[in-house]
């Protein structure tokens, strides 16, 4: 079994600030590229490049209504909040 804490530490560095900002925007309800850009302030080109990474890491997923955060993504965000 993968140690979730160590996994989250690695994810933090792999995603970088922009990836985390995108995930936080999705958590706040942004569900498409345009709303993610507005809420996160991250340029559209960066969003289009990082969304597949968030999906591959199972932090977010695409549904018919748009992008949503997964439970694993919620746990990751909670781990970040504990460290601040």
Give the structural domain span for 75. 4-83
Low-confidence residues in the chain, pLDDT < 50? 1
Predicted local confidence at residue 24, as pLDDT: 98
Q: What is the CATH number of the domain that holds 22?
A: 1.10.10.10
pTM over 0.75: yes
Predicted local confidence at residue 9, as pLDDT: 87
Which residues lie closer than 8 Å to 29 by C-beta, 6 or more apart?
Answer: 35, 39
2: left (phi over 0), alpha (psi -120 to 50) or beta: beta
Write out the H or E segment, with its range, that includes residue 61: strand 60-63
Dihedral of the CA atoms 53, 11, 5, 84 (nearest 10)? -120
Dihedral of the CA atoms 7, 47, 69, 84 (nearest 10)? 50
Number of domains in the chain: 1
Predicted local confidence at residue 4, as pLDDT: 61
Predicted local confidence at residue 56, as pLDDT: 97
Predicted local confidence at residue 1, as pLDDT: 41
């Amino acid at each position: 079994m993968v140690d979730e804490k160590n996994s989250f530490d690695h994810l933090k560095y792999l995603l970088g600030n922009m990836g985390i900002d995108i995930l936080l925007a999705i958590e706040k309800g942004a569900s498409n590229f345009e709303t993610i850009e507005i809420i996160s302030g991250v340029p559209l080109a960066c969003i289009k490049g990082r969304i597949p990474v968030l999906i591959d890491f199972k932090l977010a997923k695409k549904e018919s209504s748009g992008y949503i955060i997964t439970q694993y993504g919620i746990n990751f965000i909670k781990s970040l909040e504990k460290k601040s």
